[in-house]
Amino acid sequence: MPETQISGGFAALGLPSYLVEKLSNLGITEPTPIQQGAIPPALKGQDVVGIAQTGTGKTLAFGLPMAVALRQGGTGLVLAPTRELAIQILESLYQIGIRGALLIGGAPMMRQIQQLRSNPDVVVATPGRLKDHMAQRTIDLSNVSIAVLDEADRMLDMGFAPVIRLILAATPSTRQTMLFSATMPREIAELAATHVRNPVRIEITPSGTAPTAVEQDWIVVPKDQKPHTLARLLEETKGSVLIFARTRHGACRLTKSVRLGGHSAAEIHSDRTLAQRTNALSGFKSGEYRVLVATDIAARGIDVKDISLVINYDVPECPEDYVHRIGRTGRAGAGGRAITLVTPEQGHHARDIERLLGKLAPQSPHAKPAGDPRRETQTHGPRRHRGGANRRGR
């Protein structure tokens, strides 16, 4: 795949003046690297494969060329892995003048059918709900002129590969396709080889790279001391905190515990209704809730500015999820901090993440279990290192 490198402002990327003005009114004047790389070939109608961390501006990287292309006719289609990310994408597209229909699970089908009947510029959907509409013949994809797969690796992780292939097969073979992903596993390469035509590949960071602006610490702590350690971290930290739990039941228990500690908190996971998840996320953005407790369903769907701290209360089973979790802080190059609580028995998880990062898991020098200052940190978990790592719903 050919590669491209372009520098300069949005006007230099070939965008029309009306879009440059819209961006300026939004306070967006300088393109991010993924936008610099993806926009020029996309404006020419070329297919694009973009590899970049979350929080690097991928929505505008495909949204701006889409806004230009759709003025010539046709319909846009954007697939996203989670409801939250789909909502976020549609909000961003609306800001640059694109009218859209939102097809996500948990929302009334009839309302979505009404949106489709209004001839939207773009359909933003989760794969499962779009498949439902296809089965009920409430959507026709034969007019799709440009299709985008956002967070493609996450969609494949969630088992959506067969559905994605079904959806793409229902669109014209002449469509323009853009695929964006934070990682490039074999399954994504195979998907691109089948459904993307001679794409321009833009790889801003190597697959699996952790955000360099995020200060990472790992605290080795016995399992029974984790609640006390979390309470201490919340007391020591100012600002908003995002906590990741491994299971929805664990997230529910953590939320109750955090509230008992005197902190305003909400939870977001698959057992929550769409209205509850939307309320939790909007409340976290507005500051109504200082703490948001989430499962990995939210790792790709939360775009909140100035999150002070991300806490991995549970070590993720999938090493790639570690990168996506800590990417919720330090957005768009801003500084951030992430702390992972790891038990002495979880050394194998640490080693898996070390292999992905290409360096040692950063262990906090203050990693003594809370409530027992005499007890020394266990040493057979992650090895000592500190600093940002720079290597590798339906």
By DSSP bridging, strand 200-203 and strand 241-244 are unpaired
In a domain, 243, yes or no: yes
Shared-domain flag, residues 160 and 246: no
Buried b (16+ CB within 10 A) or exposed e, 226-238: bbebbbebbeebe
Q: Which CATH number does the domain housing residue 70 bear?
A: 3.40.50.300
Does residue 90 or residue 189 have the better pLDDT?
90
Average pLDDT over residues 48-60: 86
Contact status, residue 315 vs residue 340, Cβ threshold 8 Å? yes
Shared-domain flag, residues 47 and 196: yes
Q: Which domain holds residue 19?
A: 11-203
Q: What is the DSSP letter of 223?
A: G
What tens digit of pLDDT does each residue of 271-326 get? 888 888 889 988 998 999 999 999 987 656 567 778 889 999 999 888 878 877 88
What tens digit of pLDDT does each residue of 137-160 get? 999 999 999 999 998 988 888 889
In a domain, 193, yes or no: yes
pLDDT at position 380, please? Answer: 34
In a domain, 198, yes or no: yes
Using DSSP's 3-state secondary structure scheme, residue 3 falls into coil
Contact status, residue 192 vs residue 273, Cβ threshold 8 Å? no
In a domain, 381, yes or no: no
In a domain, 293, yes or no: yes
Q: Give the integer Cα–Cα distance in Å for 166 and 212.
A: 37
Shared-domain flag, residues 187 and 220: no
* Cα three-residue angle 369-315-379, rounded to 5 degrees: 45
Alpha helices in 161-288 (DSSP H): 161-169, 186-195, 226-236, 248-260, 274-286
